[in-house]
Amino acid sequence: MIERVMSEKGWTMSTLARRSSLAVSTLGAWKNGDRATGSRGPTPDKLRQLADGAGLTVAEVFEAAGRHVPVAVDDEGERRFLHMYRAISGEDRRVVEATMQAMMERQKSTS
């Protein structure tokens, strides 16, 4: 994907790095297939930076990286979730967090 963006836009790696606020070495490692950022590959935040800098959608970048495409949460849904989360006890919050963590891990292992 990085090679395609550079080719289509006539950019150098430095230009893409500057526009994405990412290091040239990071983009080079991704381009060469080196996960470079640990065993899990690029973080979602770094992938979003690449999408913003390259003028691509988040979905395009996440799909190209072989990652689960995040689904947007509308403001109302996020507000309802936070309202419910704030209303439960600390012990129940830990249960919610552990459940969500397990769900994220399962999702990573199947994508």
Give pLDDT, residue 73.
78
Q: Is 54 exposed, middle or buried (0-12, 13-18, 19+ CB in 10 A)?
A: buried
Average pLDDT over the chain reads 88
Q: 66-70, 76-80, 93-97 — which is least confidently predicted?
A: 66-70
- Sign of the four-CA dihedral 76, 78, 81, 87: negative
Lookup: tokens for 76: 């109302």
- Tokens 């470079």: give the residue: 36
Region 14-28: what's the mean pLDDT? Answer: 94
Quick check: 81 pLDDT over 90?
yes
- Stretch among 32-41, 67-76, 88-97 having the lowest mean pLDDT: 32-41
| pLDDT at 67 exceeding the cut of 90 | no
Please give the average per-residue pLDDT across 87-98, as a whole number.
Answer: 97
Distances (CA, A) of 68 to 7, 13, 93, 107: 26, 25, 25, 8
pTM of the model: 0.63
| Average pLDDT of span 97-107 | 89
